[in-house]
């Protein structure tokens, strides 16, 4: 955990410098359409942008220490409030996308590993490589065109819930969980329907690393001594595959999942834009284009924290499931 501190500090510094280097002048941008020089200066003072960078930085860090992440100029809300409200949307998308990818990629990987070098193996490989070669925004747009516009099978690509529904009362922020807690099946289905296309778009992208790692780990496990012993003892093929081989292969797969998760969270940015998803990614794009300093910094910082948390969690899980892995390695 302590190891992460320098990284986080680095992230804070870099994101601060990066936002100040943006060519846009927030004071001009937010002073409004007809603002003259004088009113632009007033806005600049109000935003504290008339101070030196060093001063601004210390004010920023000081505020951070007090839990104040600043206020987004674009939406006019505190950044933390914005992020907390939007984070569940992004996480819901990422988790389900990742879930779909695991459901598809792990069997593919196992299938490939049990028949290495066969045509099944090659098809699997081509399939997952094709998935990772698709630009997410391109996949998303064409899925919308085909399934919403032409066929009308999918609901309008408009965020998390059809306009006609009210969001379920907030418990976890995950609509599909909250709607179930509220016992509202219609909203649950509605939220699920909205999730299908974006999660497929995202999931396609995650197939390759998971399938590759599964295949590799399974190959290793299948050629190991204990599997050979199990085979010699006459255990059934499926029993060997799932109980012995896969259990042991799941550790590296889990590690990969952590990496893929962080990666997907970043790849979300484009998917969210295409599907008008009210997550933190679309928030970040807008903020960047508007030179909304506090929002960009808040986004980057929260992603870094999330990234570190995920890795830590994975480490803990590994330590619990596999005694060979020590916590402090």
State both tokens at 209.
């690393």
80 vs 235, beta carbon nearer other proteins = 80
Among 59, 126, 171, 312, binds other proteins (CB under 8 A): 126
Among 1, 163, 232, 327, binds other proteins (CB under 8 A): 163
What is the per-residue DSSP string for 17-35? HHHHHSS--HHHHHH-TT-
Helix (H) or strand (E) holding 286: helix 280-289
Determine the Cα–Cα distance for residues 46 and 42; give it in Å rounded to an integer: 6
Span 45-64, contacts to other proteins by CB under 8 A: 46
Determine the Cα–Cα distance for residues 263 and 98; give it in Å rounded to an integer: 11
7 vs 321, beta carbon nearer other proteins = 7
Determine the Cα–Cα distance for residues 244 and 227; give it in Å rounded to an integer: 7
Determine the Cα–Cα distance for residues 190 and 32; give it in Å rounded to an integer: 39
Find the shortest distance in angstroms from Cβ 206 to other proteins: 14
159 vs 235, beta carbon nearer other proteins = 159
Span 67-86, contacts to other proteins by CB under 8 A: 73-77, 82, 86
282, 269 Cβ separation under 8 angstroms: yes
Q: Is 111 in the site for other proteins (CB under 8 A)?
A: no
Q: Is 194 in the site for other proteins (CB under 8 A)?
A: no
Q: Is 34 in the site for other proteins (CB under 8 A)?
A: yes
303, 266 Cβ separation under 8 angstroms: yes
Q: Per CB under 8 A, which region of 92-100, 230-238, 287-295, 321-329 contacts other proteins?
A: 287-295
Interface with other proteins (CB under 8 A), residue total 114
Q: Per CB under 8 A, which region of 54-62, 161-169, 229-237, 238-246 contacts other proteins?
A: 161-169
Q: Per CB under 8 A, which region of 51-59, 188-196, 234-242, 321-329 contacts other proteins?
A: 188-196
Helical H runs in 134-184? Answer: 136-143, 175-181
């Amino acid at each position: 955990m302590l190891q992460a501190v320098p990284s986080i500090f680095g992230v804070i510094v870099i994101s601060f410098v990066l936002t100040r280097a943006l060519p846009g002048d927030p004071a001009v941008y937010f002073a409004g359409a007809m603002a003259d020089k004088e009113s632009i200066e007033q806005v600049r003072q109000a935003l504290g942008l008339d101070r030196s960078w060093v001063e601004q930085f210390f004010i920023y860090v000081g505020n951070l220490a007090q839990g104040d992440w600043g206020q987004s100029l674009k939406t006019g809300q505190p950044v933390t409030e914005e992020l907390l409200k939007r984070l569940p949307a992004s996480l819901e998308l990422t988790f389900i996308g990742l879930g779909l990818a695991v459901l598809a990629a792990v069997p593919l990987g196992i299938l490939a590993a049990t028949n290495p070098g066969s045509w099944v193996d090659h098809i699997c490989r081509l399939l997952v490589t094709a998935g990772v070669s698709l630009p997410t925004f391109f996949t998303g747009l064409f899925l919308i065109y085909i399934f919403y516009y032409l066929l009308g099978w999918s609901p309008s690509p408009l965020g998390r819930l059809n306009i006609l529904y009210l969001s379920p009362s907030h418990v976890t922020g995950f609509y599909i969980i909250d709607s179930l807690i509220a016992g509202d099946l219609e909203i649950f289905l509605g939220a699920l329907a909205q999730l299908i296309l974006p999660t497929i778009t995202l999931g396609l992208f995650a197939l390759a690393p998971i399938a590759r790692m599964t295949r590799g780990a399974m190959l290793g496990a299948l050629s190991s001594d204990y599997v050979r012993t199990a085979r010699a003892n006459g255990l059934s093929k499926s029993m060997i595959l799932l109980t012995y081989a896969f259990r042991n292969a799941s550790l590296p797969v889990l590690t990969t999942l952590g990496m893929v998760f962080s990666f997907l969270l970043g790849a979300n940015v484009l998917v969210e834009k295409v599907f008008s998803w009210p997550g933190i990614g679309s928030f970040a794009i807008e903020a960047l284009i508007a030179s909304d300093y506090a929002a960009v910094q808040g986004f980057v910082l929260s992603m870094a924290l999330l990234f570190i948390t995920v890795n830590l969690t994975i480490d803990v899980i590994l330590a619990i499931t596999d005694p060979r892995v020590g916590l402090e390695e």
